[in-house]
Structure 1
Amino acid sequence: MAAAAAVLRSEWTKIRTVRSTVVTLAAAFVVTVGLSALLCLLTNHNFSEATRNAETPFDATATSFGGIILGQLAVIVFGVLVMGNEYSSGMIRLSLAAVPRRGVLLAAKASVVLLLALVVGLLTSFVSFLLGQALLGSHSTTLGAPHVLRAVLGAGFYMTLLCLFSVGVTAMLRNQTLSLGILMPFFFLVSPILSAVPKVKTVARYFPDTAGRAVISVYQPADAPYGPWAGLGICALWVVAALLGGWLVLNRRDA
């Protein structure tokens, strides 16, 4: 037990003493909250125009998370750097020498990332919601309205899962540049584009970001193949698969 605690402290020290990881977490908060607030402000001033062609009721909660699309990229970068810095700096050799049980090392790293990402994710989601509703004026909602608290909590959980997914992918690829080169275009371009293409959007609905974001909407589309929590569950399955793959690669390949 003491050994596990020591590994956790070691991973915490690695993360908090590297400026890039701290900056990316801060950026996730600033970008998400800032863009969400701007979107809410613009929506309030142009409400009729913004909701003219809407097929579902106006979702004040989801609107207050409008910045999460870009904010999630900073969370992904954080997850990649936490794992990738070990390989780019050569620190992975020292880490494995100090902690020969590679599963313990990955579990400790994932646990610290989980805690940090969850705290920042929930802080980001609640601040985005409260500030967004204040800017929406008469079009706002409250935490006590049906499904709103679920959406706010879900937004924080969603950001946390994407961060862990990035850790797992980077553990598999063992290269932060390659990981960023795959994850950033996928989440910023490939997934949104495929989600809008009729012939493939059925498959794209099960991508981790598309499925996970279902939890932040109060109103679900009539043709949705799963509910909000099921969507988050699909995202969690992607995370489990990525971490399992990372563990297998870490166990079978030399540093």
Structure 2
Amino acid sequence: MAAFPAVAQSEWTKVRSVRSTVWTLAATFLVTLIAGFLISLVTNLNYEDATKDLHTPFDATSTAFSGIILGELAIVVFGVLAVGNEYSSGMIRVSLAAVPQRAILMTAKIAVLTGIALAVSLVTVFITFFAGQAALGGHSTGLGEPNVLRAVFGAACYLTLLCLFSAGMTVVLRNQTLALGILMPFFFLLSPILSIVPWVENVARYFPDRAGSAAIQVYQPSDQPYGPWVGLLICALWTAAALVCGYLVLQKRDA
């Protein structure tokens, strides 16, 4: 039986040795930071116009994280590539031959991805937060204000969960091109569009990205049926379902 630490080390080597996964992690950091800083700067320069129609207090934290929608797309791509590269290259057969205990293999993959995604997400959200607050000037907030630190950690957990959800779906589909072809339009187009369509917006609120993004908010909108922790839990349930389905597919299908 393969030892878990050795399998985890192998999975870590697979991830860091593929250039595309490294670039997607760098993109997660850069696009979240740059977009958040620029939007915060523009908001500060046009504060009266930007806040005149708000129904809740101005949320300096979520403003700094305005670019996270781009960062989430990058980390979704990372989750897909980190798993899908093995299927596209055929290396999954080698992995299963070396580690026939598929539960150990799957657990090691998820453990490594969780560690990487969480570490990158924490660095990203904290630097983005401080950069955004600097851009907001006199309209900024601090980590010591109520719910702000929770929102910052919530942003990191949100990005990590989306990465794991994408990885689980890639194991289910066993094809990185197909996974990207489904997940990218869903997160970038379908979910945002459905969230503003009157007949289906109540359903769209429970999609993983819509629910998880509630964790980033310091102030809960009056029309939102759940708070930040419940939203993060909904996102976590979607992620758990994707990972369980991925494991079942890995168990029942040949590579």
Paired residue for 1:14?
Answer: 14
> C-alpha displacement at 1:49, in angstroms?
1.0
Query: Structure 2: how far apart are the matches of 1:240 and 1:189?
Result: 23
AA of the residue aligned to 1:237: L
SS of corresponding position for 2:226: coil
AA of the residue aligned to 1:90: G
SS of corresponding position for 2:65: coil
> C-alpha displacement at 1:225, in angstroms?
1.1
Paired residue for 2:127?
Answer: 127
Summarize the alignment of residues 90-109 of structure 1 with structure 2, pairs less than 5 Å apart: 90-109=90-109
1:190-222: CA deviation from partner (whole Å, max 9, x where unpaired): 000000011101100000000000010101011
Query: Structure 2: how far apart are the matches of 1:144 and 1:41?
Result: 22
Paired residue for 1:167?
Answer: 167
Paired residue for 1:58?
Answer: 58
> C-alpha displacement at 1:121, in angstroms?
0.5
Preserved CA contact (<8 Å) 2:171 2:247: yes
Query: Structure 2: how far apart are the matches of 1:33 and 1:116?
Result: 18
Paired residue for 2:237?
Answer: 237
Paired residue for 1:152?
Answer: 152
Residue 107 (structure 2) pairs with residue 139 (structure 1): no
Residue 71 (structure 2) pairs with residue 71 (structure 1): yes
Paired residue for 1:201?
Answer: 201
AA of the residue aligned to 1:167: A
> C-alpha displacement at 1:106, in angstroms?
1.0
Q: Scaled by the length of structure 2, what TM-score is found?
A: 0.99
Query: Structure 2: how far apart are the matches of 1:176 and 1:113?
Result: 16
Runs of 4+ aligned residues of structure 1 deviating over 3 Å after TM superposition are none
> C-alpha displacement at 1:104, in angstroms?
1.0
Instruction: Identify the range of structure 1 (163-172 vs 101-110) with the bigger mean alpha-carbon deviation.
Output: 101-110
Query: Structure 1: how far apart are the matches of 2:166 and 2:249?
Result: 15
Query: Structure 1: how far apart are the matches of 2:69 and 2:4?
Result: 35
Paired residue for 1:41?
Answer: 41
SS of corresponding position for 1:57: coil
SS of corresponding position for 1:219: coil
1:85-134: CA deviation from partner (whole Å, max 9, x where unpaired): 00000000000000001111111011000000000001111011001001
Paired residue for 2:25?
Answer: 25
Gaps of 5+ in 1: none
AA of the residue aligned to 1:188: F
SS of corresponding position for 2:206: coil
1:169-199: CA deviation from partner (whole Å, max 9, x where unpaired): 0000000000000000000000000000111
Query: Structure 2: how far apart are the matches of 1:70 and 1:207?
Result: 17
> C-alpha displacement at 1:2, in angstroms?
7.5
Query: Structure 2: how far apart are the matches of 1:203 and 1:92?
Result: 36
Query: Structure 2: how far apart are the matches of 1:158 and 1:90?
Result: 31
Query: Structure 2: how far apart are the matches of 1:106 and 1:80?
Result: 14
SS of corresponding position for 1:42: helix
AA of the residue aligned to 2:158: Y
SS of corresponding position for 2:254: coil
SS of corresponding position for 1:132: helix
AA of the residue aligned to 2:152: V
SS of corresponding position for 2:3: helix
Query: Structure 2: how far apart are the matches of 1:2 and 1:168?
Result: 22
Gaps of 5+ in 2: none
Preserved CA contact (<8 Å) 2:2 2:101: no
Aligned length, in residue pairs = 255
Query: Structure 2: how far apart are the matches of 1:108 and 1:9?
Result: 9
Query: Structure 2: how far apart are the matches of 1:29 and 1:14?
Result: 21
AA of the residue aligned to 1:82: A
Paired residue for 1:248?
Answer: 248
> C-alpha displacement at 1:223, in angstroms?
2.3
Q: Scaled by the length of structure 1, what TM-score is found?
A: 0.99
Preserved CA contact (<8 Å) 2:2 2:99: no
